[in-house]
Amino acid sequence: MSKDHDDEPIFVRSKWGTSRYVYNPNNPIGVALVIGSLLFAAGGMYYLFSSSSWSEGELRDAVHTAVRDLESEPHTFSSWTGGYDRLIRDALEESGEGPSNGGMVYVDEANDPYDEDADPSVERFEVTAKDVDAAFCLSVSPPEPESALENITVSLSITVEEGRC
């Protein structure tokens, strides 16, 4: 007489002297739960240790590479292409620097509308990354075109300063 594994319960009492229930490896669903739990735990550990974070040197290299790339050729803008912040963020991602699976990098406009001494011919952006204390202030000229309905081509000049704007 053969014993059918489908008759086995999915959970059984632990044989370690406790009253806990554990997966039953004699049931096909119990085996699937054991394997699934192990795969889930392994995936979680991989995610935790491979989650990307920038180092200060990687962020510095990415900023300088992005600035060099942005200044190397003229850029065309229109009302649908986005502003300088998007252009800078894209250049940072395309720089090839930083963690292998991306990582969060932030580009925030840093112009103070109440600063009467601010140079109107320059727009400032602050570049930071998650888990990094370093920040870089980019001063971009000429100013971003105002809601261009037709394409406008500009050549950018960017200065980089370490630290917040």
Q: What is the pLDDT of residues 23-74, one digit of tens each?
A: 888 888 888 888 988 888 887 777 666 556 778 888 899 899 999 999 999 8
Decide if 92 contacts 70 (C-beta within 8 A). Answer: no
Q: Is pLDDT above 60 for 16?
A: yes
1 band by pLDDT with thresholds 50, 70 and 90 = very low
Alpha carbons 103 and 80: distance in angstroms, whole number: 26
HSE-CB for 8 with a 13 A CA cutoff? 18
Decide if 135 contacts 159 (C-beta within 8 A). Answer: no
Share of the chain above pLDDT 90, in %: 10
81 band by pLDDT with thresholds 50, 70 and 90 = low
Arithmetic mean of pLDDT over the chain: 80
Alpha carbons 65 and 151: distance in angstroms, whole number: 26
